[in-house]
Structure 1
Amino acid sequence: MVCRKAHNYVQNSLTNGNDYIIKCNNGLSVKLRSWLSITAAMVYNKLNRTDRENLLMTYGLTVEKFF
């Protein structure tokens, strides 16, 4: 089973047309067994006013155990 998550956000300034903020959060998970899955995620942020940009990529294993 494959599960994809995405949350994307753009915020424009009302007073200055060149000022904006972009935020993107994306994730992907592939279930290998009923209790084990491989996950990967990417986060991207851009602030135009301060000219900052961030890109974070993570990956790993998820083990689900219910008590």
Structure 2
Amino acid sequence: MPKLKTRRSLMKRYKITSQNKIMRRRSGKSHLLAKKNSNKKRTLSLASQVSKADSKAILFYTNIN
């Protein structure tokens, strides 16, 4: 069986820290921003950590086991 290719779309969407924690962007910051207040927009700009259940699959497809 050949080696798995790294999923490049995952590498563009997620950032993997040195402790193998996976950071992601929050949704809701691309459009319809006029109705959101500045505190909400600032919170949406921050990165958040992916849950452990999802991070196992992401690490598998990025070949960083």
- TM-score, length basis structure 1: 0.30
* Higher RCO by CA contacts (8 Å cutoff, separation 6 or greater): 2
Considering only CA atoms, is the larger Rg found in Structure 1 or Structure 2?
A: 1
Q: Which of the two has greater strand per residue?
A: 1
- TM-score, length basis structure 2: 0.30
Q: Which of the two has greater helix per residue?
A: 2
